[in-house]
């Protein structure tokens, strides 16, 4: 079957150690004296997944799990050290929106520059410019230097330009929630609109609720290793939430199954606990309160409405 | 050879694809540089003129006594050398200063370097106009050979872009490149016979001068402007060779390190 994105055994290695920031003179010295060390660090190890057109992949994992690095490989910014990624269609990656603007340029100039960076044409920007500014609510700031803007305004502009993309594959790295409350709602609606139009999407979000409601498939990474890739979003998210509490990673599909069950149990237990405390409260009322309140409590207690 | 041609073709199609981006980058670099000040571009012409003035005052007694048109001679050296210096220094910064862009968006990295070079070229063009005004004031007779100046401009630009590529890559890996390069350009300046006459040396020392690509480009300008004829075909070949070697080396480094830059910024 035709796929939109396929990653096979993707591994990405970062080099860490001495070499950064030491400069040429120091580098030569350390090389000569044999004190030069380079360590390897695998940000991703053997990650594989496959997305059909129109599907939405949610990537979950704690900080440093290798999510953003994986997205860089998918969007072509990085080439995997091992394995390969194949992407079929035009890809747009919206990673960390607010950076990459120039403080000395005006809002208008920055808008055009960002548009160019995202691969839009000048005609497209000319046509859409007013719409962008209106959406970002920056009509009065167009000739303002960018560094004079508040950080909320900056990310609003970034989002407004970025959401005009019409790609086949859309990568979202924590971009669904920007700006203040009102703008956040607007941006979420806009994003959902785009996602509903049939693009293939990859979503990284720390909001597990968002992942649950939007994804068709889920990829769970932990310290660069792939815990699982599955179509059972609910179960995997359950297991992940259990992992967030217990900090134990599951082994294989059975492990996930078990952890999901544990999470459900935990939830049931918590619910029971809550109910119990409600009941206790009522009992207490029954014993200590005045007559009318006690009667009401007794009636409720007996009818079993709690 | 085929591979090489295909590579160039790919770069050209990519350039077309990224025309809008390139224009916006050039605009940005331009505005960054002059900060929208009134004096802006004027200052960058004034700067080499001041250098020229100081050199003229200081060195005429020592080196200019037996030389006709010493001002033009000095200016030719300063003109080419400051173009080389500005272009390569700007080029060196081009990757690091755009790191927050190319680590997030997949764009060809040489665009940043080319865009920085465009503002250096513009600056050079302005200074070049002033240069011709000065040659007129210095009463250098106009000769058709002066049009030959276009050749070293092309070869020096090639050389600058190539060196800029090499430096920008080095600057990503080694942050002290900047300081080392400052020292290097200072030494190179003294080695480029800007205010003295290299022809005064004996045969083999003169040949050592020929190893300096910047000097050769300066020399070319002096020959066509002051001596009024074109240099030998071999000299043309030498300039082209220097330009091509720099450009090729830079291109290869970019190709090889394209993916590594990301890890160091």
In this prediction the ipTM stands at 0.79
Provide the 3-class DSSP secondary structure of residue A106: strand
Residue in this structure with the two tokens 């003035």, named with its chain if needed: B53
List, in sequence order, every residue forming a beta bridge with A82; answer none if it has no partner.
A11
Residue, of B218 and A190, whose pLDDT is higher: B218
Mean pLDDT of chain B: 88
A180 touches chain B (CB under 8 A): no
Q: How confident is the model at residue A17 (pLDDT cuts 50, 70, 90)?
A: low
Q: Do A14 and B180 touch (CB under 8 A)?
A: no
Which of B192, B168, B162 lies closest to B79, judged by CA?
Answer: B192
What does the pLDDT look like over B19-78, one tens digit per residue?
898 999 998 888 888 776 767 777 877 888 888 888 888 888 887 777 888 889 999 999
CA angle B23, B27, B28 (to 5 degrees): 115
A291 touches chain B (CB under 8 A): no
Q: What is the token pair recorded at A277?
A: 């405390």
Q: How confident is the model at residue A97 (pLDDT cuts 50, 70, 90)?
A: low
Q: Do B102 and A95 touch (CB under 8 A)?
A: no
Q: What is the token pair recorded at A24?
A: 């040429």
Provide the 3-class DSSP secondary structure of residue B160: helix
CA angle A36, A43, B94 (to 5 degrees): 70
Which of A85, A83, A74 lies closest to A42, judged by CA?
Answer: A83
Kindly give the pairing relationship between strand A225-230 and strand A217-222: antiparallel
Between CA B89 and CA B181 the distance in angstroms is: 9
Q: What is the token pair recorded at A265?
A: 């149990």
Domain boundaries, chain A: 264-303
Sheet strands (E) in chain A: 5-17, 38-51, 56-60, 82-87, 91-95, 169-173, 200-204, 217-222, 225-230
B23 touches chain A (CB under 8 A): yes
B255 touches chain A (CB under 8 A): no
Q: Distance, in angstroms, between B170 CA and closest chain A CA?
A: 9
pTM flag (> 0.90): no
Between CA B158 and CA B149 the distance in angstroms is: 15
Between CA A60 and CA A71 the distance in angstroms is: 12
pLDDT over 70 percentage in chain A: 93
Q: Are B76 and B225 in contact (CB under 8 A)?
A: yes
What does the pLDDT look like over B170-191, one tens digit per residue?
998 888 889 999 999 999 999 9
Between CA A121 and CA B134 the distance in angstroms is: 44
Residue in this structure with the two tokens 């208008």, named with its chain if needed: A108
List, in sequence order, every residue forming a beta bridge with A51; answer none if it has no partner.
A5
What does the pLDDT look like over A120-167, one tens digit per residue?
888 999 998 999 899 888 888 888 888 888 878 888 888 888 878 777
Residue in B closest to A14 by C-alpha:
B263
Q: Are B247 and B161 in contact (CB under 8 A)?
A: yes
* Length of chain B (residues): 265
Between CA A4 and CA A199 the distance in angstroms is: 10
């Amino acid at each position: 079957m035709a796929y939109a994105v396929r990653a096979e055994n993707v591994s990405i290695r970062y080099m860490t150690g001495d070499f950064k920031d030491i400069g040429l003179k120091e580098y030569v010295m350390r090389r000569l004296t044999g004190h030069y060390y380079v360590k390897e660090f695998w940000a991703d190890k053997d990650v594989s997944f496959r997305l059909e057109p129109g599907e939405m992949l949610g990537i979950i994992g704690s900080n440093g799990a290798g999510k953003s690095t994986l997205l860089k490989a998918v969007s072509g910014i990085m080439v995997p050290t091992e394995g390969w990624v194949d992407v079929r269609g035009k890809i747009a990656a919206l990673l960390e929106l607010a950076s990459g603007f120039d403080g000395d340029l005006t809002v208008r100039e920055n808008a055009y520059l960002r548009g160019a960076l995202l691969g839009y044409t000048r005609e497209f920007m000319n046509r859409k410019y007013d719409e962008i500014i209106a959406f970002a609510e920056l009509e009065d700031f167009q000739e303002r230097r960018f560094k004079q803007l508040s950080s909320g305004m900056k990310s609003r502009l970034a989002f407004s330009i970025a959401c005009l993309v019409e790609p086949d594959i859309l990568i979202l790295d924590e971009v669904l929630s920007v700006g203040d409350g009102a703008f956040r709602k607007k941006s979420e609606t806009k994003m959902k609109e785009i996602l509903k139009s049939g693009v293939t999407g990859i979503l990284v979000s720390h909001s597990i609720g968002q992942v649950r409601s939007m994804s068709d498939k889920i990829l769970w990474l932990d310290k660069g290793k792939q815990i699982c890739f599955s179509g059972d979003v609910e179960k995997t998210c359950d297991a992940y939430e259990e992992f967030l509490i217990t900090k134990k990673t599951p082994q294989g599909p059975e492990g996930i199954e078990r952890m999901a069950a544990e999470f459900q149990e935990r939830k049931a237990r918590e619910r029971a606990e809550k109910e119990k405390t409600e009941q206790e409260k009522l009992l207490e009322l029954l014993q200590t309160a005045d007559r009318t309140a006690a009667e009401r409590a007794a009636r409720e207690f007996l009818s079993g409405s709690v | 050879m085929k591979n090489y041609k295909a590579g160039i073709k790919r770069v050209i199609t990519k350039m077309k694809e990224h025309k809008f981006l390139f224009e916006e980058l050039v605009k940005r670099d331009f505005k960054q540089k002059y900060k929208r000040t009134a004096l802006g571009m004027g200052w960058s012409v004034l700067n080499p003129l001041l250098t020229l003035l100081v050199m003229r005052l200081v060195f005429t007694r020592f080196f200019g006594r037996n030389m006709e048109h010493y001002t033009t001679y000095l200016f030719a050296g300063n003109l080419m050398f400051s173009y080389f210096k500005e272009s390569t220094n700007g080029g060196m910064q081009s990757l690091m200063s755009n790191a927050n862009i190319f680590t997030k968006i997949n764009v060809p990295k040489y665009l940043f370097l080319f865009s920085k070079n465009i503002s250096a070229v513009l600056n050079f063009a302005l200074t070049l106009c002033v240069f011709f005004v000065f040659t007129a004031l210095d009463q250098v007779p106009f000769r058709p050979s002066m049009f030959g100046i276009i050749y070293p401009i092309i070869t020096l630009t090639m050389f600058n872009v190539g060196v800029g590529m090499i430096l920008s890559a080095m600057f990503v890996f080694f942050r002290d490149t900047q300081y080392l390069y400052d020292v290097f350009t200072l030494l190179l300046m003294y080695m480029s016979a800007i205010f003295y006459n290299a022809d005064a040396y004996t045969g083999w020392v003169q040949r050592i001068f020929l190893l300096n690509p910047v000097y050769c480009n300066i020399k070319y300008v002096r020959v066509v402007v002051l001596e009024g004829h074109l240099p030998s075909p071999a000299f043309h070949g030498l300039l082209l060779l220097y330009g091509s070697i720099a450009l090729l080396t830079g291109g290869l480094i970019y190709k090889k390190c394209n993916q590594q830059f990301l890890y160091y910024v």
